[in-house]
Amino acid sequence: MNKGLRRGLKVLGGLMLAAGLLLLTGTAYEAYQSTQDMKSYTPPGKLYEVSGRNMHLYTAGKGTSTVVLASGWGTPNPYVDFSPLYDKLKSDVKIAVYDRFGYGYSDYTERPRDIDTIVEEVHELLRKSGQRPPYIMVGHSLGSLETVRFAQMYPDEVAGMVMIDGGSPEYYSTVEMDTPEWYFDSARFLVKTGIARTLLHSDRMMATLVIDPELVAEPMKKAATISTLKHAYNDNVMDEIRRSKINAARVLANKQEFSFPLTILTAGSDQPSEGSRAWEADQADFASWSKQGNQQIVPHAQHYIHNSQPDVVAGAILKMAMAPGSQLKTGHRKHTANRRQDG
């Protein structure tokens, strides 16, 4: 072996050793920091036992209407994600933001993430926490499926629905998860080795991967960071996306025309493409799920419309809650009477 090759192998070996040491150091640091994170990771709401595990619900506001918010797939901290809406809603309506298992402050579960199980858990959480139906159900992105299924399974408990760039059951029933498994494996590796934590120190990366730090106060930014690192593509989250097509088919199999109002908020693309036009067309068809359905395209909006244009989302919710002839007040009286009869 010549001297040049021997020297090159030594350099390569040294680099590999250094890289290994850095990864070991990063892994140890991440393990320590994760333990420290949990000391300040206090739920902003309350935990309720559902199916033998703790499930988190954040509530705020006042009024006769209760707005239940369902986050999209993979949103690590729904409480933080929906926070730009709170001040715009809580003086007029009650807010209830739930964390599915594997999200936010809720536990993990071994129960399968089929749509009926998820909806049953949400219903039990709302019941145990003392929420009063009928609700205005608000679903973002893939959260549209559980929102529609909730109305199918508990029709007397829904007075209206608002979708925040939420895909229709028809759309999700035809879409395959096209993100390769190696992507999720790589993301988990970045978390385990402390690299992801380092990246999230950048506001630009924070805005890209979690939430725009300018939208939230420092405590919420910290909570979102902890949630992102804690829940990165865990088994519950991954089971949800793998079952999304089957879950959508389940919702479609029980399709019915709703009588309550349904508002579809669609993020309007600044650079229309074939894909964005197809999405807008699907959203328009989604409105036909209700006799009182309508679509509103929100110009210059991002997929997380409640982050980029919270005034529009809050306005749509309040318009539904305050509408003359709303089912909310009569619905509350009906449910109160039913509870008295049951008692």
Confidence of residue 340 (pLDDT cuts 50, 70, 90): very low
User: Could you tell me if 150 and 122 are in contact, meaning their C-beta atoms sit under 8 angstroms apart?
Assistant: yes
Please check the confidence at residue 4 and state whether its pLDDT lies above 70: no
Across the beta sheet with 46-50, what order do the strands follow? 46-50, 53-61, 94-98, 66-70, 135-140, 158-164, 258-267, 290-298
In the chain the domains, ranked by start, together with CATH numbers, are 46-342 (3.40.50.1820)
**Residues 21-51: pLDDT tens digits?**
566 666 776 777 778 777 889 999 999 999 9
Query: What tokens does 267 get?
Result: 């993020």
User: Hey, which residues does 149 pair with through a beta bridge?
Assistant: none
% of the chain with per-residue pLDDT over 70? 86
212 CB burial (10 A radius; 0-12, 13-18, 19+)? middle
What whole-number distance in Å separates Cα of residue 50 and Cα of residue 117? 11
**Residues 219-262: pLDDT tens digits?**
898 999 999 988 989 999 999 999 999 999 999 999 999 999 99
Residues 6+ apart with CB under 8 A from 101: 53, 55, 107, 108, 109, 111, 113, 121, 236
Query: What tokens does 295 get?
Result: 């679509």
What whole-number distance in Å separates Cα of residue 189 and Cα of residue 199? 13
Kindly report the pTM of this predicted structure.
0.87
**Residues 121-175: pLDDT tens digits?**
999 999 999 999 999 999 999 999 999 999 999 999 999 999 999 999 999 999 8
Please check the confidence at residue 336 and state whether its pLDDT lies above 80: no
Over residues 184-211, mean pLDDT: 83
